[in-house]
Every structure is written in structure tokens, then in C-alpha cells.
Amino acid sequence: MQKVMKYNLILLLATILFAACTNNQNMKTTVPKISGFPVGEANTAYAQYFSGKSWVAPLTSNKDLNVPVSNVTFEPGCRNNWHSHTSGQILIGVGGVGYYQERGKAAVRMTEGTVVEIAPNTEHWHGAAPDSWFSHLAIIGNPQINKNTWLEPVSNEEYAAAINQK
């Protein structure tokens, strides 16, 4: 009888452990399908410059073409810090709703098909709307000579003001 109790105890512990593991897996953020483009991996390389979670999928690899293209996906409310690129950048909305703002200007609401051209050395930020996921393609011309300058985070006040302008 004692053996049966010990067996039941082990079974109970195993069940609890399994439930805990399953719950932990469920905690991992599930990215909804908002476009036909791959979401890629968690954007760990640039996480320090983002408020919130983001994902990045490189879409090209041939360096001869001289135009790296990636798909960047932001969870609702996620945006990157104020920053600039010496080569500039092109953003192309492909799913969900997001915003792009240049320092001192009104924010631009972005959806599928919205194209933003960012001139070299222009301070700006981009990210998702507070209530929507967002994906955009990011294209850098002249990648060999491009340098990014990362600045301060976009404060909650700046973010709210940018969105309320629309």
C-alpha cells in the first residue's frame, strides 16, 4: 500500500511539473498573422533600443545586390528609440497599424502599403499602434557606409501625443 502511495505521489509531482512547463510555454508571446511575410526571431540584437517586444526576419542574403531587406514586427505599444541612419532608410508597411515620426513633425500612421522615406541623419522613431501589432519592411541603401545613432527612448508622453495628433 505504501508503494502505491509513493507511486501516486510521483505521478502527482510529474503532473504538476508537466502543467508548469506547459504553462511556461504558453507564456511565450504568440505573434498573430498580420501579413504573408515571415516574422523571424525575437529581435535580441536591438532589444536595448526598443520599448517592448519586437521580431526581425532578414529577407535577403545576396550582398551583391547591395540592399538588405528585413521584416520587423512590433507588439502593440512597442516602438524603437529616437535614432538616425547615415544612409537613411525606407520603411514599407505590410501588416497591422503603426506610426513613424520625425523629430518636430506630426506622426505618420502606417498600414499595408504605406511607404516612408527617411533622409540620411534624420532623427525619428517607428513602432506599433497601442492597440495593434505592426509589421514593416526595412530597407537600407548604401549599407557598407551606414551607421546608426541610437538616442533616448520615446517617452509615454511623446508616444501618446504623436498618436493623438492623428
Query: What residue ranges bind its own copies (CB under 8 A)?
Result: 35-38, 59-62, 64-67, 69, 87-90, 92-94, 111-115, 117-120, 137, 139, 141-142
Least Å from the CB of residue 36 to its own copies: 3
Contact by Cβ (8 Å): 71, 131? no
Contact by Cβ (8 Å): 130, 76? yes
Q: Which residue lies nearer to its own copies by CB, 117 or 152?
A: 117
Closest Cα to residue 85, out of 55, 36, 123?
Answer: 123
DSSP the chain: -HHHHHHHHHHHHHHHHHHHHHHHHHHSPPPP--SSS---EE--TTGGGEES-EEEEE----GGG---EEEEEE-TT-EEPSEEETT-EEEEEEEE-EEEEETTS--EEE-TT-EEEE-TT--EEEEE-TTS-EEEEEE-SSGGG--EEE-----HHHHHHHHHT-
Least Å from the CB of residue 67 to its own copies: 4
Q: Which residue lies nearer to its own copies by CB, 80 or 89?
A: 89
Least Å from the CB of residue 111 to its own copies: 6
Q: Which residue lies nearer to its own copies by CB, 68 or 130?
A: 68
Least Å from the CB of residue 47 to its own copies: 24
Q: Which residue lies nearer to its own copies by CB, 112 or 158?
A: 112
Least Å from the CB of residue 46 to its own copies: 21
Q: Which residue lies nearer to its own copies by CB, 44 or 86?
A: 86
